[in-house]
Homo-oligomer: A and B are copies of this chain.
């Protein structure tokens, strides 16, 4: 089965927003073995939408559209689809119930435009949206499935997971593909590729490898095509075992687990508690750790010590040390980690101190210089890093490195 993705939205055409929906959808479709042949972004304009559908219907088996379904006047996609599929608008009672409940739950009044979101073209099959108010719509014409989804990423993803992906998987006969993603931290993509050159060359022909970098991380996706499930799993195990011998210290998990989740699981498993003392990362470590549901089992909190006075007064960092060694130094970051660990009475702690830029760099300590310290019981480990890129990128890299270092300290692989 082949497919195309249509993104509707002026905000993308003027470069105000990057289209991440199409990327995510194509990843999901490719995982199912559905090839994406084309992605197009058009204006929320009836003529352009209709012309694009004219071109795709009959050509592709599946067309996924996102965007243009909001409650406001500039969202014309639903009306356009009704006209295109020569159908009239009807109120869908189940959707109306859902929208009514949605507003009731939030104690907010429903207005006319919200009610109109329950109107759908009568020829479509409605996909219930459990994550927002705009329903998904499923049309079929000349052997092409056309699905329209809201553009809000979490609503779109919810509808894909709840309805589309399971149904597509059932409907289409696709070549069997087994994917396995290995999560790594600590080596940039190009270095990782160099480190893994021989391992990559030895991969059998039925295995494809993709490097998928994320801020602070690189995911390695292995795809095995046209093997039975058991055979594929066995093959993958052999390949991963080889990989584990080359970069054991950089792998923290599989299949899109977050580093914050992997760290959380380890802390929970060992019955350990964690506190953090952040300077340059400014709360980013705490934010990620607390994004994991149930983190209160192991996380007590953080002291964000942005100002030096907080480092000395709250974390008891030695003032003389800040003067002599500088605030971005091994000595200071170690005192910060020890300070929060005893102040918050935890088993482990993370501390960061660095120059995130764009200002504040010196020839001695340029922008990107970061000291990270992790401590567990009597063990303490600290290291200096020099990160490149924007302020946000430097913060991200320091954040992920810090979490990985603590995992390794606990696992005794540092």
Q: Which residues of A contact B (CB under 8 A)?
A: 10-20, 22-28, 30, 35-43, 48, 55, 70-74, 102, 105-108, 111-114, 131, 133, 152, 154, 179, 181, 189-191, 193-194, 200, 208-213, 219, 221, 223, 256, 276, 278, 282-287, 289-291, 293-296, 299-307, 309-310, 314, 343-345, 356-359, 366, 368, 386-393, 395
**Can you list 14 residue pairs at the A/B interface with Cβ under 8 Å?**
A12-B39, A14-B36, A14-B223, A16-B27, A17-B212, A19-B19, A38-B41, A111-B191, A282-B290, A282-B295, A283-B290, A293-B357, A293-B391, A301-B305
Query: Which secondary structure dominates chain A's binding surface?
Result: mixed
The answer to whether A291 and B179 have CB atoms under 8 Å apart is no
Complex Cα spacing A314 to B14, Å: 48
Residues on the B chain within 8 Å of A107, using CB: 386
Residues on the B chain within 8 Å of A41, using CB: 22, 38-40
Complex Cα spacing A349 to B85, Å: 55
The answer to whether B16 and A212 have CB atoms under 8 Å apart is yes
With both beta carbons as reference points, the residue of chain B lying nearest to A299 in the complex is identified as B306
The answer to whether A194 and B23 have CB atoms under 8 Å apart is no
Q: How far is the CB of A335 from chain B (nearest CB, A)?
A: 16
Residues on the B chain within 8 Å of A209, using CB: 74
**Copies per complex?**
2
With both beta carbons as reference points, the residue of chain B lying nearest to A42 in the complex is identified as B38
Residues on the B chain within 8 Å of A344, using CB: 307, 310
Complex Cα spacing A254 to B194, Å: 46
Residues on the B chain within 8 Å of A37, using CB: 13, 42-43, 48
Complex Cα spacing A303 to B314, Å: 10
Q: Which of B24, B74, B210, B343 contacts A74 (CB 8 A)?
A: B210
Residues on the B chain within 8 Å of A27, using CB: 14-16
19 more contacts with CB within 8 A, not counting A16-B212, A18-B23, are: A15-B23, A15-B36, A37-B42, A38-B40, A38-B42, A39-B40, A70-B211, A72-B189, A72-B193, A102-B388, A113-B193, A286-B286, A291-B392, A293-B358, A299-B306, A302-B303, A302-B306, A303-B303, A304-B304
With both beta carbons as reference points, the residue of chain B lying nearest to A306 in the complex is identified as B301
